[in-house]
Amino acid sequence: MNSMDVEVVRTAMDWMNRGHRVVLGTVVRTWGSSPRPPGSLMIIRDDGQVAGSVSGGCIEDDLIDRVKRGELALRLPQATTYGASAEEAQRFGLPCGGSVQIVLEPLNAGSRLRELLAAIEEHRVVRRRLELATGLVTLAPNTEGDEVLFDGATLQTVHGPRLRLLVIGGGQLSRYLAALAVMLDYRVTICDPRDEYHEGWAAMEGVTLSRQMPDDLVIAMNLDAMSAVVAVTHDPKLDDLALMEALKTPAFYVGALGSRRNNDNRRLRLLDFDVSQDEVARLRGPVGLRLGGLTPPEIAMSIVAEMTAVRRGVDLAGPLTDWSGSSTECLVSTGAPPP
C-alpha cells in the first residue's frame, strides 16, 4: 500500500467518523491496457465525494452515480466489471479495449481500517481478507508485498510499509535522487555526517537528514525487502561503511556511484570486511541504467529507473546495464569527465 492509498484509507476513516456512508473500491483484475493496476483504491462518499482512483478517470463518474443511487455495495461487497465488451470499453474510454474488475465494499467498524493503518505505521506486512458473501474482514501477518488475489468469493490484498531509500551523501545528485524517489512514494533518508552538506535538507518534504555514521544508520534502520540503498559520496570511508552492512540486509537494491573500475576495486575492498562473495555480487555498480545521461538530474533518473526495474522484477540483462566498453561510463556514473 503506497502513501496515496494510505491517505485514501485515512480519508475513509475521517468520513465514517463524520457519519457518512463510504464505499471502498479496489481494482482486482485487469485485461488488456488499464490505467490503474490491481490493488488501486478509491473511496466514494454517499454525497458523491471521492478520493483515490481506480481507472484514471474513465469509469469514476459511473461508479459515483451507481453508489449514490444505492445500486452497488449497499449492504455487502460485490464485484463489477467495466469494458467487458468493445462497445463498453469505448463508452467508458478505457484504452486499447482494456477491461477492469473492481470489488466495491461498504465500509463499517468491521472493516478493520484502523488496525490496518496501525500495522503499516509499525512497518509490518499484513494480509487483508474480505469475504464478499458476509463482508467479514480478517487480518493476518504476511511476508509478501504488492499482491492481490480474487477468486470471486474472497478478496485478499497484501499491505505493508512504504518503500524506503537510504542515500549516502548529501551533495547535489542526492537532491535530485531524493526528489524523484519521493514522487515514487519512497520515504527518503539522507545520511551524511559532514556538516558542510546539511544546508537545505530540512525544507525538503518526505526527506529525513541523518548525521549518523553510515554503518550505524544502516543497522539502526533495520532495512527490509522494501528498502533501497544508494551510496554517492565517492568517499570509501563513507560509502564502503554503508555498503558492507547494507549488502547483508534483505534490501532489494544496493548500488554505488562510480566508474566500473572504481566499483571493481570497491568489491575487492568489501571482501576484506567480512562481506561474502554472494553479498558482494548483489552490489549494483556502476549504479543506474546506461541511458547516456550527463547531468545530475539525468543520472538520478537512471538510478531511480534501475531501482524501479529491479523492484518490479524486470530482466535487466542487456545494453542498458552493460557498462563494459562504454566510453562514457565514468561520465554517466559520476557526472565528471572520464579520465
Alpha helices in 18-160 (DSSP H): 60-68, 86-92, 113-121
C-alpha cell read off for 88 = 463498453
Going 325 to 328 to 331 to 333, the CA torsion angle's sign is: negative
pTM for the structure as a whole: 0.65
Give pLDDT tens digits for 153-177.
999 998 876 689 999 999 899 999 9
For 163-334, CATH gives: 3.40.50.720
Going 103 to 108 to 111 to 114, the CA torsion angle's sign is: positive
Give pLDDT tens digits for 62-104.
888 888 888 877 899 999 888 755 555 555 555 555 688 999 9
Q: Looking up cell 535530485, which residue turns up?
A: 176
What pLDDT sits at residue 322?
Answer: 60
The answer to whether residues 114 and 13 touch, using CB atoms and an 8 Å cutoff, is: yes
pLDDT-derived band of residue 327, with 50, 70 and 90 as boundaries? very low
Residue spans per domain, the chain: 3-159, 163-334
Give pLDDT tens digits for 279-316.
999 999 889 998 888 899 999 999 999 999 998 888 77
pLDDT-derived band of residue 323, with 50, 70 and 90 as boundaries? very low
pLDDT at 58 over 60: yes
63, 86, 125, 176, 231 from 31: Cα distances, Å = 19, 12, 28, 35, 40
